[in-house]
């Protein structure tokens, strides 16, 4: 047993051991949290926004590996898992021919192999996940929804932020400010998003009947 541990902690495979350990820890946390009615994937999700403006190589890479078509947590687990497997495989092949590659060189080679593998795997997963359960939500659909002020108060000046839940149960934090004829909306108050401009959503105080309707829906 100690020999196996020593092998996994060897300097030339240490990055891949760490990646595998992170995968195991995240998988265990997700399993345990799901058992108590909570999911880590609800936190690691839509809060990460990707701008596809064609000028960012990183944005292009994220879209190329299907970010937004599969849950971000699954994408993270896939990337770390494939990176770990690729790294151990590369070092095993190197050792079989009597070579010990430095961890940095092996990691670069593993990353090069990981990116296309993640794309192919995530594409398959995206086909399996029903489209009505996708994590990609158009923020324009938030108009007409009730949210709670998280950073404020909201007035006609600089936008604050509000939190709301989409139809899939995922939480979002978006910029918002009060409408021109509305009084300041305090932190913790329920607001109705009535419009959206280029900078933020426009909010008013939420009518009591809509709040009651949402509370009833949440309990159901």
Q: Are residue 79 and residue 149 in the same domain, yes or no?
A: no
Q: Are residues 124 and 161 in the same domain?
A: no
Judge whether residue 6 has pLDDT over 80: no
Chosen domain end from 113, 133, 153: 133
Coil vs helix vs strand at 64: helix
Distance, CA of 148 to CA of 165 (rounded, Å): 10
* CATH number of 160's domain: 2.40.50.140
Helix H or strand E segment including 5:
helix 2-8
Predicted confidence at residue 165, as pLDDT, reads 85
Please indicate, yes or no, whether residues 18 and 126 belong to a single structural domain of this protein: yes
Mean pLDDT of 148-164: 90
- With 0-12 CB in 10 A as exposed, 13-18 as middle and 19+ as buried, what is 147? buried
Q: Which domain holds residue 147?
A: 139-219
Give the mean model confidence (pLDDT) for residues 165-185: 85
Same domain, 81 and 63: yes
Quick one: pLDDT band at residue 130, thresholds 50, 70, 90? very low
Q: Are residues 109 and 208 in the same domain?
A: no
Residue 53: helix, strand or coil by DSSP? coil
Token look-up 């399996």 returns 128
Same domain, 19 and 127: yes
Cα separation, 68 vs 59, in Å, equals 11
* pLDDT bracket for residue 220 (50, 70, 90): low
Q: For the chain, what is the domain count?
A: 2
Question: Residues 40-96: pLDDT tens digits?
Answer: 655 555 444 444 444 455 555 666 676 656 777 888 899 999 999 999 999 999 988
Using CA atoms, how far apart are residues 101 and 91, in angstroms rounded to an integer?
A: 7
């Amino acid at each position: 047993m100690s020999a196996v541990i020593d092998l996994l902690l060897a300097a030339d495979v240490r990055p891949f051991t760490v990646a595998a350990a992170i995968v195991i820890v995240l998988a265990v946390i997700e399993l345990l949290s799901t058992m108590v009615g909570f999911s880590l994937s609800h936190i690691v999700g839509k809060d990460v926004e990707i701008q596809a403006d064609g000028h960012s190589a990183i944005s292009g890479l994220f879209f190329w590996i299907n970010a937004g078509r599969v849950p971000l947590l699954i994408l993270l687990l896939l990337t770390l898992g494939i990176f770990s497997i690729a790294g151990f495989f590369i070092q095993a092949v190197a050792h079989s021919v009597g070579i010990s590659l430095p961890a940095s060189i092996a990691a670069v080679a593993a990353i090069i192999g990981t990116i296309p593998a993640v794309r192919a795997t995530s594409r398959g997963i995206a086909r399996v996940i029903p489209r009505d359960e996708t994590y990609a939500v158009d923020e324009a659909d938030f108009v007409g929804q009730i949210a709670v002020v998280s950073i404020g108060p909201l007035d006609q000046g600089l936008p604050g932020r509000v939190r709301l839940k989409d139809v899939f149960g995922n939480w979002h934090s978006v910029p918002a400010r009060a409408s021109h004829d509305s009084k300041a909306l305090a932190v913790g108050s329920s607001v109705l998003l009535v419009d959206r401009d280029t900078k933020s959503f426009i909010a008013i105080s939420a009518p009591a009947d809509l709040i009651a309707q949402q509370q009833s829906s949440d309990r159901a």
